[in-house]
């Protein structure tokens, strides 16, 4: 979230400006693409379980829809800000463009903490959110999805409310729904698996055998869980994972040098991705401070939490052994940390490429819903692997041929595609 002096939207604009200059974009194109096309701020008043009323603040940003309907998650977070939502909507535009799917960038958020809300209260927030944005969203306008602290259950409540308002069955309105209610098989795995598909290709480029690598993961939500699962299935050794502890209101790092077993760690993890410290200690995990994940002597770092985690303060702590940073989170690395990575020759798989598996599979879900025909899990993951591999190859080849940083190469591809679509439409 945008806290203190860190502003994710300013960072997103800073990243854009640097690449716009490299591409030689004209001023009008820059002015159009460095701001969201549309944003809405609204109140969600709901009746709480104790009979009192409480008003929650909600946001929705549609950054750009030149290449197709806006697409982007809705996050519930006590420290949500409009600048975070603006930045994420912008990154979604680049994300859909880099994997070349016909969608644009959107994002939404509500300032709330679902830990402190009953299921009925959460349902009311979901329905109130949809009522506020209904005229501006839909299968052919803007398609939401889950994000931080939201789930398939939240999505199905939102779909139900939207269908009540429109009087039509519109399963393509929202993605990340439960399987059996219009959800796609493979969606839960998609973002985490996509991270590892790109990591697998990066290690090939570096001539590194994945079975001889070690990794440290920050965060243990859905994305990190599935990334760790596939990484270990491919033969990698995960030795560290950090996660938030709601009761202590801080994070801890759980280390097992011999390697973390996915099934074992999942058996002591709750629905919010929080690991039980007492049980972890009993299973031989070393309990370290929350920031220790970044200091481990591993080959691969996977930041899979929130923005601004790898910055001028934390990046110098990264061990000399680290060769690859696979950004599973959105905006985890600041420009100051990027400069350090360039200097040290650490390969970074940029966030909007590495974690594009989620939106790619959301696109598959949307396609399946709109044509009312669903694919097998194997088919979904095979299509996802192919799409992510193609996207990685295009970025890596451009980075090599133009001798530019991976993040810059990904931006150059994305921004050029979006700018061209805007020009073709006669917007600029």
Residuewise pLDDT in 10s, the chain (428 residues): 444 568 999 989 998 999 999 999 999 999 999 999 999 999 999 999 999 999 999 999 999 999 999 999 999 999 999 999 999 999 999 999 999 999 999 999 999 999 999 999 999 999 999 999 999 999 999 999 998 899 999 999 999 999 999 999 999 999 999 999 999 999 989 999 999 999 999 999 999 999 999 999 999 998 999 999 999 999 999 999 999 888 888 899 999 999 999 999 999 999 888 999 989 999 999 999 999 999 999 999 999 998 789 999 999 999 999 999 999 998 899 989 999 999 999 999 999 999 999 999 999 999 999 999 999 999 999 999 999 999 999 999 999 999 999 999 999 999 999 999 999 999 99
- 405 in a structural domain: no
Question: What does the block give as tokens for 127?
Answer: 């329905």
- 378 in a structural domain: no
Please indicate, yes or no, whether residues 299 and 163 belong to a single structural domain of this protein: no
Please indicate, yes or no, whether residues 225 and 147 belong to a single structural domain of this protein: no
- 301 in a structural domain: yes
State the Cα–Cα distance between residues 65 and 264, nearest whole angstrom.
Answer: 43
Question: What does the block give as tokens for 248?
Answer: 């202590």
Q: Which of 22, 54, 71, 107 is catalytic?
A: 107
β-pair partners for 74: 108, 146
Give the rounded distance of the alpha carbon of 85 from its chain centre.
Answer: 12
**Is 107 an active-site residue?**
yes
Please indicate, yes or no, whether residues 207 and 79 belong to a single structural domain of this protein: no
Instruction: For residue 114, give the nearest of 106, 104, 103, 125 by alpha carbon.
Output: 125
Q: What are phi and psi of 9, to 5 degrees?
A: -70, -40
Q: Is 109 helix (H, G, I), strand (E, B) or coil?
A: strand
Domain of residue 328, CATH code: 3.40.50.720
State the Cα–Cα distance between residues 262 and 162, nearest whole angstrom.
Answer: 37
Domain of residue 71, CATH code: 3.40.50.10860
Q: Where are the alpha helices (DSSP H) in 250-376?
A: 262-266, 277-282, 335-344, 351-354, 357-371
Residue 357's pLDDT is what? 95
Residue 4's pLDDT is what? 54
Q: Please give the C-alpha separations between residue 306 and each of 68, 224, 409, in angstroms, as whole numbers.
A: 27, 12, 23
Q: Is 44 helix (H, G, I), strand (E, B) or coil?
A: strand
- 85 in a structural domain: yes
- What is the DSSP-derived secondary structure letter of residue 101? -
Please indicate, yes or no, whether residues 199 and 159 belong to a single structural domain of this protein: no
- 322 in a structural domain: yes
- Per the structure, the count of domains in the chain is 2
State the Cα–Cα distance between residues 14 and 20, nearest whole angstrom.
Answer: 10
Please indicate, yes or no, whether residues 102 and 235 belong to a single structural domain of this protein: no
Q: Please give the C-alpha separations between residue 254 and each of 198, 297, 310, in angstroms, as whole numbers.
A: 25, 14, 19
- 347 in a structural domain: yes
Of 354, 370, 386, at which residue does a domain stop? 354
State the Cα–Cα distance between residues 84 and 105, nearest whole angstrom.
Answer: 14
Residue 2's pLDDT is what? 47
Please, what is the end-to-end C-alpha distance for the chain in angstroms? 32
Please indicate, yes or no, whether residues 153 and 194 belong to a single structural domain of this protein: no
- 368 in a structural domain: no
Of 354, 378, 410, at which residue does a domain stop? 354
Domain that holds residue 99: 36-170
In 226-363, the DSSP E strands lie at: 237-245, 250-255, 286-289, 300-303, 324-326, 347-349
* Upper half-sphere CA count for residue 281 (Cβ side, 13 Å): 6
Please indicate, yes or no, whether residues 337 and 195 belong to a single structural domain of this protein: yes
Cβ atoms of 406 and 348 closer than 8 Å: yes
Q: For the stretch 276-304, what's the b/e string if a residue is b when 16 or more beta carbons lie within 10 angstroms of its beta carbon? A: ebeebeebebeebebbbbbbbebbbbbbb
Please indicate, yes or no, whether residues 158 and 198 belong to a single structural domain of this protein: no
Please indicate, yes or no, whether residues 147 and 262 belong to a single structural domain of this protein: no
Residue 244's pLDDT is what? 87
Please indicate, yes or no, whether residues 320 and 253 belong to a single structural domain of this protein: yes
User: Model-level pTM?
Assistant: 0.89
Burial class (CB within 10 angstroms; exposed 0-12, middle 13-18, buried 19+) of 178: middle
Residue 20's pLDDT is what? 96
Please indicate, yes or no, whether residues 55 and 134 belong to a single structural domain of this protein: yes
Please indicate, yes or no, whether residues 204 and 341 belong to a single structural domain of this protein: yes
């Amino acid at each position: 979230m945008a806290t203190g002096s860190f502003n994710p939207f300013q960072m997103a604009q800073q990243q854009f400006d640097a690449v716009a200059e490299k591409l030689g974009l004209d001023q009008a194109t820059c002015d159009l693409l460095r701001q969201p096309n549309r944003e809405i701020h609204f109140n969600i008043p709901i009746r709480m379980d104790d009979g009192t009323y409480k008003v929650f603040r909600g946001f929705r940003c549609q950054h750009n829809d030149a290449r197709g309907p806006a697409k982007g998650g809705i996050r519930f977070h006590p420290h949500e800000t409009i600048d975070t939502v603006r930045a994420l909507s912008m990154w979604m535009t680049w994300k859909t463009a880099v994997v070349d799917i016909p969608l644009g960038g959107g994002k939404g958020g509500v300032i709330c903490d679902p830990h402190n809300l009953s299921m009925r209260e959460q349902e009311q927030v979901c329905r109130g959110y949809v009522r506020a944005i209904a005229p501006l969203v839909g299968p052919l306008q803007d398609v939401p999805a889950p994000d931080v602290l939201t789930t398939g259950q939240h999505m199905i409540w939102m779909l139900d409310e939207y269908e009540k308002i429109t009087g039509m069955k519109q399963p393509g309105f929202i993605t990340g729904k439960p399987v059996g209610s219009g959800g796609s098989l493979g969606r839960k795995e998609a973002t985490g698996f996509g991270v590892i598909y790109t990591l697998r290709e990066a290690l090939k480029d570096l001539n590194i055998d994945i079975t001889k690598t070690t990794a440290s993961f920050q965060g243990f939500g859905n994305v990190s869980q599935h990334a760790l699962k596939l990484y270990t299935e491919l033969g990698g050794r995960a030795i560290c994972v950090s996660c938030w502890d709601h009761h202590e209101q801080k994070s801890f790092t759980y280390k097992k040098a011999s390697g973390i077993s996915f099934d074992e760690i999942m058996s002591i993890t709750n629905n919010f991705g929080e690991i039980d410290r007492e049980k972890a200690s009993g299973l031989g995990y070393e309990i370290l401070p929350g920031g220790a994940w970044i200091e481990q002597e591993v080959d691969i770092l996977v930041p899979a939490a929130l923005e601004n985690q790898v910055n001028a303060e934390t990046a110098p702590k990264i061990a000399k052994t680290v060769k690859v940073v696979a950004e599973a989170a959105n905006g985890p690395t600041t420009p100051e940390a990027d400069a350090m990575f360039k200097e040290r020759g650490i390969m970074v798989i940029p966030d909007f490429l590495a974690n594009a598996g989620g939106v790619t599979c959301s696109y598959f879900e949307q396609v399946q819903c709109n044509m009312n025909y669903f694919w097998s899990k194997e088919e979904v993951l095979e299509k996802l692997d192919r799409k992510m591999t193609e996207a990685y190859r295009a970025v890596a080849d451009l980075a090599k041929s133009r001798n530019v940083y991976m993040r810059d190469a990904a931006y150059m591809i994305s921004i050029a595609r979006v700018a061209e679509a805007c020009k073709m439409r006669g917007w600029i």
